């Protein structure tokens, strides 16, 4: 068993995870993006809130928006591991992240595919570039150019996102905001599904 202790006191078995939104929110609000190598603190929860906003502002459905909000939720249990390390850790790390993604999606009433849909991927890529420009002294130097879809989002929403990146909220405030947003979008997804049947 691989277990991770949560601030709530819960012990989560990563091979059979039981997801609690409060644990996800606390974890993501306290984990800094970019392995902490940034000019100012910017948490994974703030990133996820911004991705969800980009999805929504670009016409995404509640399901896609919730997918954007939860796309990095596995990091509440595994940390925000930088991409080269993820690759070095290999298949076991990827398998744990995949298991957590399935459990997270199930916990909020969406599918794993919703966490990786096109709208979320584009918004995540756009945020990567906007965060890099705002938070890293090296800016865009080492990143490949954004895809045309991500560049379009950057052009349309970079001013609004710079306001988000400029937040100076405490982890506690971000935890509350993240938890509230999850509740709102879970409700909207359920409502849309009930109206469709």
**Tell me: the pLDDT tens digits for 7-41?**
999 999 988 899 999 999 999 999 999 888 888 88
Cβ-based neighbours of 58, under 8 Å, separated by 6 or more: 119, 122, 123, 153, 156, 157
Q: Using the predicted structure, report yes or no on whether residue 94 has a pLDDT greater than 80.
A: yes
Contact 41, 32 (CB under 8 A): yes
- What pLDDT is recorded for position 132? 86
The CA distance from 157 to 57, in Å, is 8
CATH fold group of domain 3-188: Hypothetical protein af1432 (1.10.3210)
Tell me the pLDDT tens digit for each residue of 95-106.
889 999 999 999
Q: Which helix (H) or strand (E) holds 149?
A: helix 148-165
Strand partners, 13: 3
Res 63 pLDDT > 90: yes
pLDDT at 140 over 80: no
The arithmetic mean of pLDDT across residues 107-111, rounded, is 96
pLDDT tens readout for residues 39-55: 888 999 999 999 999 99
Q: Are 148 and 113 in contact (CB under 8 A)?
A: no
Domain ranges of the chain: 3-188
């Amino acid at each position: 068993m691989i277990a991770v202790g949560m601030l709530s006191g819960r012990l989560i078995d990563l091979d059979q995870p039981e997801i609690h939104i409060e644990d996800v929110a606390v974890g993501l609000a306290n984990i800094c993006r970019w392995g902490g190598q940034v000019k100012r603190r910017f948490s994974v929860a703030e990133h996820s809130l911004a991705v969800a906003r980009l999805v929504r502002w670009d016409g995404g459905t509640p399901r896609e928006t919730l997918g954007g909000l939860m796309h990095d939720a596995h990091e509440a249990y595994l940390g925000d591991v930088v991409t080269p390390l993820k690759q070095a850790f290999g298949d076991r790390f990827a398998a744990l992240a995949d298991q957590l993604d399935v459990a997270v999606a199930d916990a909020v009433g969406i599918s794993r595919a919703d966490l990786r849909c096109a709208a979320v991927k584009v918004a995540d890529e756009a945020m990567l570039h906007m965060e890099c420009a705002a938070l890293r002294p090296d800016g865009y130097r080492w990143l490949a150019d954004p895809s045309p879809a991500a560049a379009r989002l950057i052009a349309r929403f970079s001013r609004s996102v710079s306001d988000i990146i400029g937040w100076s909220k405490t982890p506690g405030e971000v935890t509350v905001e993240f938890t509230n947003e999850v509740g709102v979008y879970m409700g909207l997804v359920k409502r849309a599904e009930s109206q469709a049947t």
